[in-house]
Structure 1
């Protein structure tokens, strides 16, 4: 048993010496050093705490950053999961979804996705105050979970990947603009019939 513990400790030391860290245990695993962060609810707890976590991870939050993380929508829902008869206790499921985009220069959307968290808790009809406090605690836990998911998503992105996504977004925007311009020119070059000509037909 002691030998096995020593072996595990030795491997942990060896891996840490090589620069290996378990995901979520490091202080700065993001390769993005600057980021602008905004949300539809600009003063909400989620965006405020997300900024703090990113800053603690060494990310500079600035409006001049080349890329921007936008929390486009945050929605919380609650539904009854089950009832327990006459005891007044019911089981509720809380669900929280945050939709987000990462935008590059010229406000082009590089990617959009969502993170989601849900929890189930019991609400005791005979202890409303206690149940309310428990619900608030669970909401805070869910918010922390969502922020952790967002940070993990950012950890998977590198400046090189963002540059590729930016090039793809620019190419798509140019193709759409060219298509609109071509349609406009085609409409201009098409002979327009006067109302009199249409009546004679």
Structure 2
């Protein structure tokens, strides 16, 4: 009988700890990321039609309620892609001079203007980096891992672009006429 009382006390403490953890997590302000709150109603994206980055960014922008248009003159904002490159650099070599680690880079730069050519977001560079170990005995697996890391960097890049677009403030006609 003494052990069943101890078990109930331990069980009660576990429930109390779980309840306290749930209360602490609910009070920390955590909430899921919702759609971006963009300060314009339409945008033209300067990506080539087959760009996977362009497709993913377009999908996220449309999910936030902003229309992506093909004609730059009818858009409130126009994004111009200045560069979009991927690069791989050797980080470390083993004692035999064979590659052990690579650094993967994705560099993206863009500028956003309104339909009159006034700059909303000045030329901005975003550089993402991931490190990947390399083993020549697992060539196919490492190629798949590299592709997965590039996809992850692309998703991260889309989120960074959306945050920059959300933080932008288009100039009003009054502010533009004062300059």
TM bin, normalised by shorter chain, reads 0.7 to 0.9
Say if 2:40 is the partner of 1:32: yes
Q: Give the equivalent residue in structure 1 for 2:153.
A: 142
The CA RMSD over aligned residues, in Å, is: 2.8
Q: Equivalents in 2 of 1:35, 1:85: separation in Å? A: 52
Say if 2:76 is the partner of 1:66: yes
2:38 and 2:166 in contact (8 A); partners too? yes
TM-score w.r.t. length of structure 1: 0.68
2:35 and 2:60 in contact (8 A); partners too? no
Aligned residues: 159
Q: Where does the alignment leave 5 or more consecutive residues of structure 2 unmatched?
A: 1-16
Q: Give the equivalent residue in structure 2 for 1:113.
A: 124
Q: Give the equivalent residue in structure 1 for 2:166.
A: 155
- Structure 1 moving runs of 4+ over 2 Å: 1-12, 27-33, 84-89, 105-110, 164-171
- C-alpha displacement of 1:7: 3.1
Q: Give the equivalent residue in structure 1 for 2:144.
A: 133
- C-alpha displacement of 1:33: 2.7
- C-alpha displacement of 1:103: 1.1
- C-alpha displacement of 1:153: 0.7
1:104 and 1:166 in contact (8 A); partners too? no
Would the alpha carbon gap of residues 103 and 166 (structure 1) be closer, same or farther in structure 2, given more than 3 Å must change?
farther
**Higher relative contact order by CA 8 Å / sep ≥ 6: 1 or 2?**
2
Q: Which has the higher helix share?
A: 1
- C-alpha displacement of 1:4: 2.8
Q: Where does the alignment leave 5 or more consecutive residues of structure 1 unmatched?
A: 16-20, 172-201
Which structure's CA Rg is the greater one? 1
TM-score w.r.t. length of structure 2: 0.75
Q: Equivalents in 1 of 2:106, 2:80: separation in Å? A: 17
